[in-house]
Structure 1
Amino acid sequence: MANKVQIAYLVSDGLFLLMGIFILAFSVIVNNIKDEQPTNGRQAARDLLYRDFPLSAGIVNAVFIFITFAATLPGLATSSRRWIKAAGYMAVVCLIFTTALGLDIWIKTLRLRAEFAPRFSAQTDAVKSLMQIEFQCCGYFNSSSPAFVTDAVCPSKAAAAVMRGCAAPISAFANVFLDNIFTALFGIVGFDAIFIMATACLLKDRKERERFQHIDDKAGFGRI
């Protein structure tokens, strides 16, 4: 019968797997929608951000999480510590990998305002217009840098000149959006850490049980 330590390990192992499923699902879904034709300015800005996400790395990370989870199964099916220990080391790699993904996205927020400019400039007039209308702005840094697109918000040079550039509102939107993403990734890192601690506890518990079993065997009591 499983003791409390093993039950805690089973729960953390399941959560660890769930985080891998979440990373894989997010990476695959985003990879499929990032090149869709946007229908509004927020979607346009979001998709431009998505295109700079490390999605392939996310998929690789998720696959490694699944492999790590698979490595725990022989250890759970037997009393062996070898598989559990191997899974623990693999989980450390997963933790580092996920942390790196989170840091990559966090670093993007630090230089977002400047780095988003060429992406904005490279868009078609229709996409630029969607963002101008959504964020009530003209151009990016200002109405002439790059030049605004004529639409309902920016109908003329005179009207556009008194409007703010899109850099500030898009950056504000993007920062909140990216904050949520890397916060979620760091939350996953927390689950990885819990799994690693549960692994250490299970290894210690099994080592203690093996030691006591060895003592009992020597004393002639046999297996408990």
Structure 2
Amino acid sequence: MVSKLMIVFVVVDVLFAMCGGLLMGFSLIAEQNMRATPTVDNVAPNLLLDQCPLTAGVVNAIFIFVTFLLSIPAFFLPQNRGWLRLQGWLVVFCATFTLGLGLSVWVETLTTRNKLSKIWSGQPEITQRLLQQKFNCCGYDDAIKFAKDDDAQNPICPSSIVALDKGPCIGKFSSFANSYLDKIFTAAFGVVGVDVILVLCVAMVLKYRQEQERYRHIDEKNGLDGL
């Protein structure tokens, strides 16, 4: 009969694999979206995703899947503790990997304004105009400098008067970037939380199997043949 501890272990192990799927799906979809034609809706997220370690996220997801597959023998071999130990160390590695990814995104939020200034300046004029349209602003930190009077191709900031009224994009763009990146690194830290719970489950299952083996040895000494 399967114990409640093993049921909890399997549930958390499946959640662990699902987290790997989440990392893989997000990274691949993000990379695909970044290759799409820039629009008002995707221009800002794509610029931010370009600063995220998406390739490392795919690699991390692969390690998670491998770790999950190696946990299957641990479930079907109740008297074996080697597979569990291997899984435990791999989960620790995956948790450290994911934590590093989350911290790298978190660090980006600490220097958002400096990074966004470089990102903005490195974009073609059409991308800058899409950003202005999305945030209803003019220029990055100097609205009047970006606007050109009687510029028919720039309907968002057609004159210095309109530009002055709307103001620069630095505040709105920075606020959006912080909010967007916060969601990403918070999700990464949530995955680490699942990893920690799984490590605790592995430790409890190891302890449980160690005790069961000790009881079997005691029964064998008493002539009960391990029963």
TM-score range, shorter chain: over 0.9
CA distance in 1, matches of 2:36, 2:51: 15
1:122 aligned residue = 122
**Aligned-residue identity in percent:** 38
Residue 195 of structure 2: aligned partner? 192
List alignment gaps of at least 5 residues for structure 1. none
Contact map agreement 2:6 2:205 (CA 8 A) in 1: yes
Amino acid at match of 2:59: V
**Within 1, Cα distance between the matches of 2:134 and 2:50?**
20
Give runs of aligned pairs for residues 74-85 of structure 1, distance below 5 A: 74-79=73-78, 80-85=80-85
Structure-2 residue corresponding to 1:98: 98
Say yes or no: does 1:156 pair with 2:159.
yes
**After superposition, where does 1:196-207 map in structure 2 within 5 Å?**
196-207=199-210
Question: Are 1:217 and 2:203 an aligned pair?
Answer: no
TM superposition shift of 1:148: 4.3
1:108-147: CA deviations, max 9, x gaps? 01111111112112222222111112211111011256x3
1:213 and 1:164 mapped to 2: Cα distance?
A: 76
Question: What is the 5 A alignment of 1:129-144?
Answer: 129-143=129-143
Runs in 1 of length 4+ with deviation above 2 angstroms?
Answer: 147-153
Structure 1 CA distance for aligned equivalents of residues 19 and 195 of structure 2: 9
* Counterpart position of 1:25: 25
Rounded Cα–Cα distance in structure 1 between residues aligned with 2:220 and 2:119: 70
Residue 207 of structure 1 and its aligned partner are, at CA, apart by: 0.4
Residues 210 and 148 (structure 1), Cα distance of their counterparts in 2 relative to 1, 3 Å cut: farther
The alpha carbon displacement at 1:5 in A equals: 1.1
Question: What are the ranges of 5 or more consecutive residues in structure 2 without an aligned counterpart?
Answer: none
- Matched letter for residue 32 of structure 1: Q
Query: What is the CA distance between 1:161 and its match in structure 2?
Result: 3.3
* 8 Å Cα contact 2:147/2:158 also seen in 1: no
Aligned partner of 2:87 in structure 1 is 87
How does the TM-score come out when normalised to structure 2? Answer: 0.93
Equivalence for 1:52: 51
Higher mean alpha-carbon deviation, 190-199 vs 123-132, is at 123-132
More off after superposition, 110-119 vs 93-102: 110-119
CA RMSD of aligned residues (A): 1.4
CA displacement 1:68-100 (0-9 Å, x = unmatched): 111111111112000011100110011111111
Q: Which amino acid counterpart does residue 126 of structure 1 have in structure 2?
A: I
